[in-house]
């Protein structure tokens, strides 16, 4: 390879200005993402705010309704939500146990907590990006395809109900709860000793 053949390098072997600009932009973006990680509620409030802004924009345009874009956004969010509710390792594929995952019965057995296929942060990040892409699509008339919107609404409701019914049956069959809110917390020996000492 001669000089300048690798991606982002100029003829003299130094990274090009465009490459450095986008690298720096990516670093700033990742830094903001890292800083936002602990603020779960704030992140979701911002995403809901963006959804509200998107709905207002679609309502104010009212030329064609942007039904296809909104429908695609809804299907995308539904797929993300199903991945968020699903375990990383599907218990139906586990061959060594017909009853699904259970608590350890021996000392050397390991307890495996619920691990999501799509973690909360990635769910939020993908949902927010989806809303922003849908909002950008509303600026281009090519995406404003005229359709009979009640059929799309009915189809989305049917798809949502069927998908959620299947997911809930899966959760009941393999006895897992994807949410930690309201679950009982057990104290170890160290925690119990500290509670009595105070």
Q: What is the pLDDT of residues 146-187, one digit of tens each?
A: 888 889 999 999 999 999 999 999 888 877 777 766 555 656
Residue in the structure block whose two tokens are 């539904």: 78
| Sign of CA pseudo-dihedral 123, 126, 130, 131 | positive
The CA-based angle 125-128-134, given to 5 degrees, is 140
Q: 162, 88 in Cβ contact below 8 A?
A: no
| pLDDT tens per residue, range 93-147 | 764 555 555 555 555 555 566 778 889 999 999 999 999 999 999 998 888 888 8
Question: How far lies 26's CA from each of 19, 29, 32, 50, in Å?
Answer: 11, 5, 10, 22
Query: Is it the case that residue 15 has pLDDT exceeding 70?
Result: yes
Mean pLDDT (whole number) for 39-56 = 94
pTM: 0.72
Predicted confidence (pLDDT) at residue 60 exceeds the cutoff of 60: yes
């Amino acid at each position: 390879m001669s000089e300048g053949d690798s991606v982002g390098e100029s003829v003299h072997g130094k990274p090009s200005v465009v490459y450095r600009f986008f690298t720096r932009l990516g670093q700033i973006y990742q830094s903001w993402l890292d800083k936002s990680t602990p603020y779960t509620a704030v992140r979701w409030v911002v995403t809901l705010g963006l959804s509200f802004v998107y709905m207002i924009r679609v309502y104010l345009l009212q030329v064609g309704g942007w039904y296809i874009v909104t429908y695609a956004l809804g299907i995308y969010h539904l797929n993300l939500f199903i991945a968020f509710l699903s375990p990383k390792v599907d218990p139906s594929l586990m061959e060594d146990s017909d009853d699904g995952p259970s608590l350890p019965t021996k000392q050397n057995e390991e307890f495996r907590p619920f691990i999501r296929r799509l973690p909360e942060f990635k769910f939020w990040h993908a949902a927010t990006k989806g809303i922003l892409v849908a909002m950008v699509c509303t600026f281009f008339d090519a995406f404003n395809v005229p359709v009979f919107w009640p059929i799309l609404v009915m189809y989305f409701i049917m798809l949502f109900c069927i998908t959620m019914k299947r997911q809930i049956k899966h959760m009941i069959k393999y006895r897992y709860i994807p949410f930690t809110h309201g679950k009982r917390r057990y104290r170890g020996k160290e925690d119990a000793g500290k509670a009595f000492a105070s």
